């Protein structure tokens, strides 16, 4: 049976969540990302803001120069996560074959679902309607015989669109489109293709495979296939997380060791809370540091025992930090900490290890209180210094990169 794949992506997701709460923001150039004088980048821009050339990833400084009248909002990740979970729950009502991609985007396999809804188009309209009614958000949908074509179609239909590519029409649908529209063609590949005179997806599809292979190696074959709309990859349920991490950029580059440590402690506690919420334990701690000149280093350590306590995460992270700081005179721009080597948690803990057991009980007690009263309801000695530096939000400290860097 010919496959029918739906790709769905929410329009200006972070901004739309903000507009839903503050209707006076509707129809205006709005940017979520942070203080326009700060050092962050645009996370999401309303379509009105995009008319001024604003887009995700653009430094906020540039955005405020191009569109001084734009309204800049810091954003709050927990709110977006909640909206995302509701979005995915609506989709799961329509097909058990669901592959979430990030927060606001998913593929659904709708093969054979015509009989339930009349047509796949009708099914897509029902999905859009429920998302509008229950979440107050608008979504764009592409329908096609493969994931790659469905994604191109939904993007082309934005905002609030619906575009169906009929069976057998995949290649001719893609042909006139600019090469940058093809998923997987990044900036670098795009430049290279353009330099070769391959400016449209159609031109890519008729370029001899041998020529593409000589320029792009093995990925030349993938490009060639995708350009013809051929993508046999299935709609797969998400793989379990391989790591949990948090990082933040400082408002000003810093050499202040106490601040570095306090921030590390706070980020480590957030990582620990996530790890425990997922019922996992980890084996590896990774510290990430970025210098003022953007050079980035990572340092990792594998522990003998699987762990999920804040103490283990911080102690290991702090050890790695001390080593990295030895003899170091340069200032830092960013710090992050993560854990990997995840296993299903619970039973591995050595029950004879009284100290580990105490730590576990302590962590669970802290998690319970924090879930109830907010993350900063309990503060450890090390993070107290953060109070003077970052405003609190009830959810946690407002870091420079408001936990968008999950
Ligand atoms: P996107 O779906 O790429 O963007 P969008 O929903 O804002 O706009 P569009 O209508 O084009 O789909 O990403 C979803 C959310 O992910 C976005 O609202 C904010 C976040 N995000 C970032 O934080 N940083 C980024 O660089 C990008 C691209 C997205
Ligand atoms: Mg989106």
- The pLDDT value recorded for residue 3 is 95
The token pair at 346 is: 């619970």
CA of 105, closest atom in ligand 1: 2
The token pair at 347 is: 């039973």
- Ligand 1 within 6 A of 17 CB? no
- Ligand 1 within 6 A of 56 CB? yes
* Bond into 161 cis (ω within 30): no
- The pLDDT value recorded for residue 406 is 35
Percent of the chain residues past pLDDT 90, beyond the cut? 73
Element (DSSP H or E) covering residue 365: helix 354-373
404: confidence class by pLDDT, cuts 50, 70, 90? very low
Burial class (CB in 10 A: 0-12, 13-18, 19+), 275: buried
Of the two residues 173 and 242, the one the predictor is more confident about is: 173
42 and 180 Cβ atoms separated by less than 8 Å: no
- How much is the mean pLDDT over the chain? 90
370: confidence class by pLDDT, cuts 50, 70, 90? confident
Strands 71-73 and 30-32: parallel
Query: What's the alpha-carbon Rg for the chain, to the nearest Å?
Result: 24
Strands 280-291 and 343-344: antiparallel
Work out the number of other CB atoms within 10 angstroms of the CB of residue 368.
10
Q: For the residues 336-357, what does the mean pLDDT come to?
A: 74
Q: How many residues does the chain have?
A: 406
94 and 127 Cβ atoms separated by less than 8 Å: yes
- The pLDDT value recorded for residue 402 is 44
- Ligand 1 within 6 A of 247 CB? no
378: confidence class by pLDDT, cuts 50, 70, 90? confident
The token pair at 190 is: 């795009």
pTM over 0.85, yes/no:
no
Ligand 2 center from residue 50 Cα (angstroms) = 13
Residue 62: is its pLDDT beyond 60? yes
Residue 346: is its pLDDT beyond 70? no
The token pair at 186 is: 């990044």
Spatial distance between the Cα atoms of 197 and 207, rounded to a whole number of angstroms: 10
Ligand 1 center from residue 55 Cα (angstroms) = 9
Residue 159: is its pLDDT beyond 50? yes
Ligand 2 center from residue 270 Cα (angstroms) = 26
Residue whose CA is closest, atom 7 of ligand 1? 12
Closest CA to 325 of 245, 388, 264, 389: 264
Ligand 1 center from residue 237 Cα (angstroms) = 21
- The pLDDT value recorded for residue 389 is 67
246 and 337 Cβ atoms separated by less than 8 Å: yes
Query: Which residues carry out catalysis?
Result: 105
Spatial distance between the Cα atoms of 179 and 69, rounded to a whole number of angstroms: 33
- The pLDDT value recorded for residue 204 is 97
CA of 14, closest atom in ligand 1: 18
405: confidence class by pLDDT, cuts 50, 70, 90? very low
- Ligand 1 within 6 A of 44 CB? yes
Spatial distance between the Cα atoms of 226 and 204, rounded to a whole number of angstroms: 9
353: confidence class by pLDDT, cuts 50, 70, 90? low
Residue whose CA is closest, atom 22 of ligand 1? 43
- The pLDDT value recorded for residue 400 is 59
- Ligand 1 within 6 A of 109 CB? no
- Ligand 1 within 6 A of 404 CB? yes
Ligand 1 center from residue 56 Cα (angstroms) = 7
Q: For the residues 220-241, what does the mean pLDDT come to?
A: 90
Residue whose CA is closest, atom 8 of ligand 1? 12
Which ligand gives the minimal distance to the CA of 103? 1
- The pLDDT value recorded for residue 108 is 97
Of the two residues 238 and 338, the one the predictor is more confident about is: 338
Residue 307: is its pLDDT beyond 70? yes
- Ligand 1 within 6 A of 12 CB? yes
């Amino acid at each position: 049976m010919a496959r029918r794949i739906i790709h769905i992506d929410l329009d200006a997701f972070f901004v739309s969540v903000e507009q839903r709460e503050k209707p006076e923001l509707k129809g205006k150039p709005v940017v979520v990302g942070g203080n326009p004088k700060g050092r962050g980048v645009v996370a999401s821009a309303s379509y009105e803001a995009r008319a001024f050339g604003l887009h995700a990833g653009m430094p906020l400084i540039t955005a405020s120069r191009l569109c001084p009248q734009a309204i800049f909002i810091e954003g709050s990740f927990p709110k977006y996560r909640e909206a995302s979970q509701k979005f995915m729950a609506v989709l799961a009502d329509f097909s058990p074959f669901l592959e979430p991609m990030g927060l606001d985007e998913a593929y659904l396999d709708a093969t054979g679902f015509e009989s339930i809804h009349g047509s796949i188009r009708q099914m897509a309209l029902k999905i859009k309607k429920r998302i509008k009614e229950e979440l107050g958000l608008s979504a764009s949908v592409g329908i096609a015989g493969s994931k790659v074509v469905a994604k191109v179609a939904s993007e082309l239909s934005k905002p609030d669109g619906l575009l169906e590519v009929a069976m057998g029409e995949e290649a001719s649908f893609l042909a006139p489109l600019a090469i940058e529209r093809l998923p997987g063609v990044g900036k670098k590949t795009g430049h290279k293709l353009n330099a070769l005179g391959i400016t449209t997806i159609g031109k890519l599809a008729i370029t001899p495979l041998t020529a593409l292979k000589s320029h792009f190696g093995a990925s030349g074959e993938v490009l060639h296939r995708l350009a013809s709309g051929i993508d046999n990859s299935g709609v797969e349920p998400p793989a379990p997380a391989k790591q949990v991490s948090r990082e933040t950029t400082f408002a000003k580059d810093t050499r202040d060791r106490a601040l570095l440590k306090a921030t590390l402690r706070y980020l480590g506690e957030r990582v620990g809370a996530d790890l425990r919420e997922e019922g996992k334990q980890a084996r590896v701690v990774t510290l990430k540091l970025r210098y003022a000149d953007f050079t980035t280093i990572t340092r990792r350590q594998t522990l003998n025992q699987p762990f999920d306590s804040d103490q283990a995460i911080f102690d290991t992270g702090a050890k790695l930090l001390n080593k990295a700081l030895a003899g170091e005179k340069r200032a830092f721009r960013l710090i992050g900490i993560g854990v990997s080597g995840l296993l299903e948690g619970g039973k591995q803990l050595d029950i004879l290890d009284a100290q580990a057991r105490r730590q576990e009980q302590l962590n669970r007690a802290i998690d319970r209180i924090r879930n109830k009263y907010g993350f900063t309801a309990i503060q450890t000695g090390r993070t107290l210094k953060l109070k003077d530096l970052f405003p609190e939000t009830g959810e946690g400290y407002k870091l420079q990169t408001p936990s968008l860097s999950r």
